[in-house]
Amino acid sequence: MKEVDNKNQFFRKQLLDWNAEHNHRDMPWKGEKDPYKIWLSEIILQQTRVEQGLAYYNRFIKTFPTVHHLAKAPDNTVFKLWEGLGYYTRCKNLIASAKYISVELKGKFPDKYEDILALKGIGPYTAAAIGSFAFNLPHAVVDGNVFRVLARYFGIETATDTTEGKKLFTNLANELLDKKTPGIYNQALMDFGAVICKPQQPLCHECPLQKTCTAYQHDLINVLPVKEKTIIKKPRWLYYFIVEHNGNVYVRKRTGKDVWQNLYEFFLVENEKELSLKEIEKLTVLKKAIGKIQFELIDISKIYKQVLSHQIIYGQFIKVKILSELEIDGFEIVGKKKLKTLPFPKLINSYLEE
């Protein structure tokens, strides 16, 4: 037991010493005490790399300097600013929580772990991060970086993506937590995983934990951490008809429980497999939708591709001009000026930008 305590103390001390003397990872939210800004950064960084999220964070803070500004903004404005970050449920939850904090809590961010956890879109990791960084609450963060550092240093072979693994790593992380400075410790551990104990080619020669690291001593660096589940990505084929009349086009907001909810799209036909050029040129689905209205096929785009966590989406765009106005249920007709203000998925934006 004493040996375990000694190893834990060594880990904690070396980590904090490294953070004080060698950690130069600079981010605008580090050392921040405003819970609104910390919350915003954490929501943006859920399932997003720091390199990508940084520019979004700066734009959000500039556009919405307080939670009241964010709460009062039209949903489409917020979604447009979020455009390209993916996982749009995060943005939907961000809007809902901003309105709740602004109206119900009069702008005062919750300062208890359980109350932070109760906000929409916040799980144990995000609640621990906000709680420790903003309010110095003694809760350990457990993210991918933490899983990796702890698995390698302590030689833990339990899979991180199992119920047993999550419980084991969470308990260990809380056991190791420096209760006096939980915010500093949590940030140090995450930074250490990002800078030194990287997923690929970790800097073991620079690591202050090297001498007592189980993975280093037993050549398990490329084995740990262990993951049990392998994600199989399902392919989807989306064919978008850009129906144009007098320079305006038909668009609709996606409302179903699927990818890109609350974002806009054109007239969509989804197929189980790729369609040939001849099959697309038949325009059978479009003919059924528009009835006897005359139309002209203008252009068929190349195939675009977007890789999501559980699916690979292939998209093709078919430009069609119709000779009289059309009533399509759920669609609105917009000009090019308004089109630029609407939030679209990355796949559609890739086409529009070209």
Enumerate the active-site residues: 42
| Cα 54 from chain centre | 12
The first and second tokens of residue 124, run together, are 């144990």
Contact 99, 71 (CB under 8 A): yes
